[in-house]
Structure formats: structure tokens, C-alpha cells
């Protein structure tokens, strides 16, 4: 059992960043989906406004967790990180909005399924942008 625990710790140390990104990405996705469903299914606000509100709440959570836990940024350039993070997330937010608009409002696909698929695409893009642009170590 001790070997298994040690192996788990070793794997965690080796892949800490992607593991934490997946954990916080999953939590961000959950926040995004639940917020979307709250406004779309329960409050009946409409697809696009519900998606925008869900995106804003998820982005706030994502910035805080990515900066602090995932990329462990100690940068004094908080304004740079915040603005580039928001710009990148705005880009992926527009992609998310486009996917949802086309698939739900035009093609009439299931909103929940499409929200999940859209979020998978967005999570991958967000990791790449965060690692290579926003929280880049050699800046």
C-alpha cells in the first residue's frame, strides 16, 4: 500500500500542473454548466444571456485558481496577467458562444450535451493559452 501511495505522490509531482489544471478545469466547467442550466432551464433567461452569465462567473473562478494553484504565478504583473487572461478567455468565450448558438439555436441539438462538448474544446484551448501566453514563466 505504501508503494502505491508513493507512486501516486511521484505521479502527482511529475504531472502537478496538468493534474491541477484538470481538477480546476473540471470545477470551472461544473460552475459554467450549472450556472448556464440555472439561468437557461430554471430562470428561463434564454440561451445566449444564460451562456454569457455562466461564462463570466466561470472566468472569475478560473483566473483565481489558475494564477494561485495551477501556474503558481508570482508575477508582479497582475494587470498584464488579468488582461491577457480575459482576452484569451474572451476569445474562447466567443468560440463557446458560437458553438452554442449554432448547435442549440440553429441546429436544435440538446443544450446540455452541446454545453459539455463545447466546454471540452474550450478547456483545451484555455490551457494552451494560459501556459504559453498568460502565465508564461520567462516573462
Any idea where the domains of the chain sit in the sequence?
Answer: 2-134
| Angle CA 92–99–117, to nearest 5 | 85
Per-residue tens of pLDDT for the chain, all 139 residues: 888 899 889 999 999 999 999 999 889 989 999 999 999 999 999 999 999 999 899 999 999 999 999 999 988 888 999 999 999 999 998 999 999 999 999 999 999 999 999 988 988 898 999 999 999 876 5
Q: What are phi and psi of 61, to 5 degrees?
A: -60, -45
Any idea which residue has 508570482 for its cell?
A: 74
pTM, two decimal places: 0.75
Amino acid at each position: 500500500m505504501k508503494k502505491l501511495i508513493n507512486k501516486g505522490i511521484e505521479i502527482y509531482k511529475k504531472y502537478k500542473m496538468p493534474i491541477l489544471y484538470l481538477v480546476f478545469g473540471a470545477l470551472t466547467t461544473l460552475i459554467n454548466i450549472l450556472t448556464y442550466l440555472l439561468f437557461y432551464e430554471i430562470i428561463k433567461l434564454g440561451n445566449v444571456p444564460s451562456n454569457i452569465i455562466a461564462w463570466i462567473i466561470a472566468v472569475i473562478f478560473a483566473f483565481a485558481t489558475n494564477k494561485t494553484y495551477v501556474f503558481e504565478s508570482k508575477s508582479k504583473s497582475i494587470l498584464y496577467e488579468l488582461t491577457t487572461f480575459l482576452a484569451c478567455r474572451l476569445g474562447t468565450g466567443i468560440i463557446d458562444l458560437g458553438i452554442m448558438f449554432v448547435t442549440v439555436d440553429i441546429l436544435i441539438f440538446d443544450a446540455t450535451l452541446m454545453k459539455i462538448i463545447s466546454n471540452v474544446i474550450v478547456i483545451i484551448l484555455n490551457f494552451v493559452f494560459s501556459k504559453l501566453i498568460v502565465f508564461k514563466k520567462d516573462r
